[in-house]
Amino acid sequence: MVRSVTEAYRANLNLSSCLTTVKEASLNYPAAPTVGGAILTGSEAQPSAVVPAAQTAQRVVPGHRHQVRFHGNGGEFFRIWIVNLVLSILTLGIYSAWAKVRTNRYFYGNTELAGSHFEYLAEPMQILKGRLVAVALFTLFGIASEFMPLLYIPLMIAFYLAIPLIIMTSLRFAMKMTAWRGIRFSHRGTAGSAYVTFLLLPLLIPFTLFLIVPYMALRQNKFVFDNVWFGRSKFELNIGAGVFYKVYGIATVLFLVFGGALGFMVASNTAGVGEEAAAAWSADNMGWIIGSTFVLMFAIFTYISAALARAVINALTVEKHGFESTITTPSLAWVLISNLFIVSLTLGLGAPWAQVRMARYRAETTTLIADGSIDDFVAAQQSEISAVGEGVSDIFEVDIAL
């Protein structure tokens, strides 16, 4: 349960960038350890370190706290990552669908809650179908922009209008392909709610002088989490707009104070000295000006990410059971900065270790607080699902990530 919601949250934190790539939820957030060049599917791609849920499920003590644990390591994932990279290049990107499945199965399979590991159930062909659709659309956009400019604008408008449907479809796919103790998750957001949340509210930003941004962030989080189901049990995000306005308000104050101080420092050194002297001073000090601006924006981004992640996860419940996040701004900043150095100093080869470190950090800061027997709760889900059945058409089980 925690793996899915933290992944969804990680994706949602980066929603503005996800509108063009639509993942991580996503908070994300979140393949097999064998590294042979053969394309693996189904059970062949399960990580060797993962024991089937039926064999690992432990008796969960009522009222206890159960921390999420991540058992992967950088060296093991590097072997998967390098094979994925090489084969994706050699196949001109076609293998990337299999690479995504192997990667997700590795991270999901190494994420444990109460003795049971998560499962990623998607097959590579489902991913490939969505990517072929994306390639076809972007090819059409490219041709239209070059040879049919009158068609390009209507196409871009149509694409913008389709963004809420793309987000909704991607969330449904991600949840549908996630399971814990043999029970699938699902996402039941509606198209109408998606259009209000991801199309109408963003259009109102300039008319409200950005004052609607915290409320929009709340609606986006509620769309993601309030529509998640674990079997027949619904997740609930019990949080109000006040929390979001407080976080964004503090971030705004930090920006105004430190940004204003930086601007005053620049102005005091360039005012009244002539254009040439001002230009020379700016050129000599451009490095620390850009660096200071980057540090300020990074600090604000990290604060918003950590504060909202903690608030949202702490307000999340499913039936009687709750969650707790201990993520903090300093600890998140340390992971992000150290990961940046790892990737930079290794010319990108350290990316697998960075991914594993982030997955472990997210797991170690997330806890399930059981109120009652989790085992009875899970058994009830299994009984109802077995009786009702799922019966979802494969035609909708594709990953659309544009």
Dist. CA 36–CA 393, nearest whole Å: 33
Beta bridge partner(s), residue 369: 65, 322
Q: Tell me, what's the pLDDT at 38?
A: 38
Q: Tell me, what's the pLDDT at 1?
A: 56
Q: Tell me, what's the pLDDT at 4?
A: 52
pLDDT tens digits, 343-370 = 999 999 999 999 999 999 999 999 999 9
390 φ, ψ (degrees, to nearest 5): -105, -55
Residue 61: C-alpha distances to residues 96, 325, 329, 370 (Å): 41, 20, 32, 8
42 closest CA partner among 122, 133, 137, 138: 122
Q: Tokens 């609930």 belong to which residue?
A: 236
Biggest alpha carbon–alpha carbon distance for the chain: 81
Q: Tell me, what's the pLDDT at 149?
A: 85
Cα angle for residues 356, 361, 365 (degrees, 5° grid): 150
Q: Tell me, what's the pLDDT at 148?
A: 87
Q: Tell me, what's the pLDDT at 284?
A: 84
Cα angle for residues 25, 27, 33 (degrees, 5° grid): 80
DSSP string, 138-162: HHHHHHHHHH-HHHHHHHHHHHHHH
Dist. CA 278–CA 285, nearest whole Å: 11
Where the chain has pLDDT below 50, the residues are: 5, 9-61, 385-397, 401-402
Q: Tell me, what's the pLDDT at 384?
A: 54
Question: CA 120 from chain center: how many Å?
Answer: 15
Q: What DSSP state is assigned to residue 46?
A: S
Q: Tell me, what's the pLDDT at 171?
A: 95
